[in-house]
Every structure is written in structure tokens, then in C-alpha cells.
């Protein structure tokens, strides 16, 4: 049963339809629980951030609530620059009220006085749906908690670059600065947008938080809904809501199976940002611990690769992307990603030496970008290029 993203939606869910399935009841429940009770529900639900880092959502909200100062900000990250990911755009375009309810819930729980929704301006459907839903909610008077005036929400459509998906780079963009990460600390929860304690959450995370408030932590934990962006060599790429812990083979089945009946070759379980896994990962459970134990991570997208794929060529294309998208602040990152991209594009060579080169680049940048690129290179080279003997 869909908890976050009802099946069959063609356009944006209306306010009336959202309320028919309990929409905005979470805000009424929040008023009875109080801010600390809302955060406690999130902790009990086990919800983790869906932007890739998987930080416990309730803990992050508490950090902002406990931060000093009367002014705090909510930033909903709808950038979705990860190749293969389409879940956040789909969430905003199809269930915009769920995102808004999550924003107002977060503002109440943390004590924030304003909110900003950052959306890639290429997502015209998402921008339009969010703005229309905001007008609907305010006109209907459903956005207040405990009778307080609704926290103002600003929806910003901006030209997006990949690195601005990182929360500190995103905050720099919102403050009119270059899209470059900053050294932590300070963390955004301490000093973020305009120097204020800031909660930065992925838009799916906020929609999931609204579901927690609506159905309660126990029911949510049992259902464990997750939106999976599935692309690559599957018959029906798209967004699928299935329980966290669904096996990759079952997710591929939900997506129509392998395209053309091909054999399964490999998977990028968190998109470009995570190490590649080989044929033996076809039955891995898609939860944080299981994917980590397999040697990778669960992230914003799942890219499935079939038997015809040359994994070295795939890796070369990914590394070309990383080289192009480096913010340019760290010379080691600029040179390192270019070196790895060129080595992979050159074709088969000394793989052991390339893995050593990649490992030497780890932990050398300001943010995790270079480390991510290096881990991806080492994982893909380690799998080799020959097709695996696996079936869908």
C-alpha cells in the first residue's frame, strides 16, 4: 500500500484528495504532541534522510531545535542533481501537499520562522505544482499548527549545478555566493542560511516525515515506505514505492525485469555517489545496513546495468561527469578527477595501479566529492569488464 506516493496519479494531487487520505492531520496531531513529541515520533519511526547521507531525521531536527538563537530556517532541497534520480521531482510534482505539510511540521518542531524550497528550474512541473499547492493550502487555512500563523514558505527555482546538492554548497547559493561547500564545523544546524541555525532536508524526507505524523511511528516503522528511483537496463524505469529492505531482484521485477531479458551485470545502488556492486548483489536487501555490508551505500537512485555493459566504459562516463562537475575549489579534486577519468577512458591498463591512485585521493578534498569519485573508481575497476554469469 502506498503511503507517500499514491499510484495512478497523473497530475498533482489536489488538496481535497490529499485530505481524503489524511493529509494535514499530521499538523493537528503535532499540536497535541508538542515539538518534542513530534521529534520523538520521528526518532521512533526510524526515518533517515533520503538525500543520500541517511542521517537520522529526528536527531537532525533536534539539533536545530536545541541550537541557540530565536531565528531558525527550514530549507527543502529539491535540487535532485544525481543522475538517474527522479523521486524528488516526482514527489513535488505529484504530492506537493505532502512536502508542504512536512515543511510546516519541521518548522513547528524546530521553532523555525521561515522556510525555503530550492528546486532545479528545469523541473517546471514540480515548480508549478508546489506553487499551486502552497496557494491552495494557505487559502484553505490548513497550514497552521496550534492556531499560530503559517510559517512563510518561499519557493525558489534556480539553475542548478551538481555540487549544489551538498547542503553547504546549496546554502551558499541561497546566500548569493558560489556553489562551493564549506569546511565543517560549523554545521548548518548550528550556523546555516544567513548565519542562522538551519534544517536542510531532502524533499522526500519531508514528505516521509508528514507520513510519520499522519499514521504514527509504529505503523510507519512497520510499513517502512521508500521511494526508489530505478533507471538503466530495466524495462520500465521510474519511481517505485516499496518497503525499505526490498530485495534488488524484486525491485527489478517491479520495474518490469531486465530490459530485453538481459542478464543482470551490476548496480549502482546509490547512483553515481556510491561504489558499484557486481552480479552477486542481485538479491541484496535494499536497506542501509545490508547495502553497506555489501560494500556500497543506498542513495538517491538505483542504476541497473545489464550483461552487455562494459563496466570500465560506464566508469569512464561517470568519472567524466565527476571531473566536469567539480566546483574547482580544491586543486587536488580538479586534477584527481581528471586523472581518473582519463585513465578509465584510455581503456584496459594497470588496474592495480589505478586503484592505488584512487585510494590516494581519498579524504583529500574539502567535501566528500573527491572521496566519492575515488571510491567509485576503485569499485568499478575491481569488478572488471567481462560480463557476469547472472540472470534476472
pLDDT per residue as tens digits for the range 238-266 = 999 999 999 999 999 999 999 999 999 99
CB atoms within 10 A of CB 256: 13
Indicate if 188 and 315 belong to the same structural domain.
no
Residue 392: which pLDDT band, with cuts at 50, 70 and 90? very low
Indicate if 207 and 248 belong to the same structural domain.
no
Indicate whether 5 belongs to any domain: no
Residue 351: which pLDDT band, with cuts at 50, 70 and 90? confident
Give the pLDDT confidence score for residue 391 in this predicted structure: 38
Residue 349 has pLDDT above 90, yes or no: no
Give the pLDDT confidence score for residue 385 in this predicted structure: 52
Indicate if 61 and 151 belong to the same structural domain.
yes
Residue 41 has pLDDT above 80, yes or no: yes
Tens of pLDDT along 143-184?
999 888 999 999 999 888 888 788 999 999 999 998 888 888
Query: In the listed set 168, 197, 222, which residue is the last one of a domain according to the structure?
Result: 222
Give the pLDDT confidence score for residue 388 in this predicted structure: 46
Report the candidate in 36, 7, 165, 21 with the shortest Cα–Cα distance to residue 98. 21
Indicate whether 390 belongs to any domain: no
- Domain of 146 in residue numbering reads as 15-222
Indicate whether 388 belongs to any domain: no
CB atoms within 10 A of CB 102: 27
Here the cell at position 252 is 527489478
Query: In the listed set 222, 247, 280, which residue is the last one of a domain according to the structure?
Result: 222
Indicate if 157 and 256 belong to the same structural domain.
no
Q: What percent of the chain has pLDDT over 70?
A: 97
Please provide the average confidence, as pLDDT, over all residues in the chain. Answer: 91
Residue 202: which pLDDT band, with cuts at 50, 70 and 90? very high
Give the pLDDT confidence score for residue 1 in this predicted structure: 56
Indicate if 240 and 198 belong to the same structural domain.
no
CATH of the domain at 334: 3.10.20.600
Q: What percent of the chain has pLDDT over 90?
A: 68
Residue 228 has pLDDT above 50, yes or no: yes
Indicate if 59 and 188 belong to the same structural domain.
yes
Number of folded domains that form the chain: 2
In this structure, of 60-69, 285-294, 377-386, the range with the lowest mean pLDDT score is 377-386
Indicate whether 10 belongs to any domain: no
Indicate if 191 and 291 belong to the same structural domain.
no
Tens of pLDDT along 203-221?
999 999 999 999 999 999 9
Q: Taking residues 265-273, what's their average pLDDT? A: 93
Indicate if 229 and 334 belong to the same structural domain.
yes
Indicate if 288 and 348 belong to the same structural domain.
yes
Here the cell at position 198 is 538551519
Query: In the listed set 189, 222, 255, which residue is the last one of a domain according to the structure?
Result: 222
pTM value is: 0.93
Indicate whether 391 belongs to any domain: no
Indicate if 197 and 243 belong to the same structural domain.
no
Give the pLDDT confidence score for residue 5 in this predicted structure: 95
Indicate whether 20 belongs to any domain: yes
Residues whose CB is less than 8 angstroms from the CB of residue 1 and which lie 6 or more positions away in sequence, other chains included: 223
CATH of the domain at 198: 3.40.50.11540
Give the pLDDT confidence score for residue 146 in this predicted structure: 83
Indicate if 209 and 256 belong to the same structural domain.
no
Amino acid at each position: 500500500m502506498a503511503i507517500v506516493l499514491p499510484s495512478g496519479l497523473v497530475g498533482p494531487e489536489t488538496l481535497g484528495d490529499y485530505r481524503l487520505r489524511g493529509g494535514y492531520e499530521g499538523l493537528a496531531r503535532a499540536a497535541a504532541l508538542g515539538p518534542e513529541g513530534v521529534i520523538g515520533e520521528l526518532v521512533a519511526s526510524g526515518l533517515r534522510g533520503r538525500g543520500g547521507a541517511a542521517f537520522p531525521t529526528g536527531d537532525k531536527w533536534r539539533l536545530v531545535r536545541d541550537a541557540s538563537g530565536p531565528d531558525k530556517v527550514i530549507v527543502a532541497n529539491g535540487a535532485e542533481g544525481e543522475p538517474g534520480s527522479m523521486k524528488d521531482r516526482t514527489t513535488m510534482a505529484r504530492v506537493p501537499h505532502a512536502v508542504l505539510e512536512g515543511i510546516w511540521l519541521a518548522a513547528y518542531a524546530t521553532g523555525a520562522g521561515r522556510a525555503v524550497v530550492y528546486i532545479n528550474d528545469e523541473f517546471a512541473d514540480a515548480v508549478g505544482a508546489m506553487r499551486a499547492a502552497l496557494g491552495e493550502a494557505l487559502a484553505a487555512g490548513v497550514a497552521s499548527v496550534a492556531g499560530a500563523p503559517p510559517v512563510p514558505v518561499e519557493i525558489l527555482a534556480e539553475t542548478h549545478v551538481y555540487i549544489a546538492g551538498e547542503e553547504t554548497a546549496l546554502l551558499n547559493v541561497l546566500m548569493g555566493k558560489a556553489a562551493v561547500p564549506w569546511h565543517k564545523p560549523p554545521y548548518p544546524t548550528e550556523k546555516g542560511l544567513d548565519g542562522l541555525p538551519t534544517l536542510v532536508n531532502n524533499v522526500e524526507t519531508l514528505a516521509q516525515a508528514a507520513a510519520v505524523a499522519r499514521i504514527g511511528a509504529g505503523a510507519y516503522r512497520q510499513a517502512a515506505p521508500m521511494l526508489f528511483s530505478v533507471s538503466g537496463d530495466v524495462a520500465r524505469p521510474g519511481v517505485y514505492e516499496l518497503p525499505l529492505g526490498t530485495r534488488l531482484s524484486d525491485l527489478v521485477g517491479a520495474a518490469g525485469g531486465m530490459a530485453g531479458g538481459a542478464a543482470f551485470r551490476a548496480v549502482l545502488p546509490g547512483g553515481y555517489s556510491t561504489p558499484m556492486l557486481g552480479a552477486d548483489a542481485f538479491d541484496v536487501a535494499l536497506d542501509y545496513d545490508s547495502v553497506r555490508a555489501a560494500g556500497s551505500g543506498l542513495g538517491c537512485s538505483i542504476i541497473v546495468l545489464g550483461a552487455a555493459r562494459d563496466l570500465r566504459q560506464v566508469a569512464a562516463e561517470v568519472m567524466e561527469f565527476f571531473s566536469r562537475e567539480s566546483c574547482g575549489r580544491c586543486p587536488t579534486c580538479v586534477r584527481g578527477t581528471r586523472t581518473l577519468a582519463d585513465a578509465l577512458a584510455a581503456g584496459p591498463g594497470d588496474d592495480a595501479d589505478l586503484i592505488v591512485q584512487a585510494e590516494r585521493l581519498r579524504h583529500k578534498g574539502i567535501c566528500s566529492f573527491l572521496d566519492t569519485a575515488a571510491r567509485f573508481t576503485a569499485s568499478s575497476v575491481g569488478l572488471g569488464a567481462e560480463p557476469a554469469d547472472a540472470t534476472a
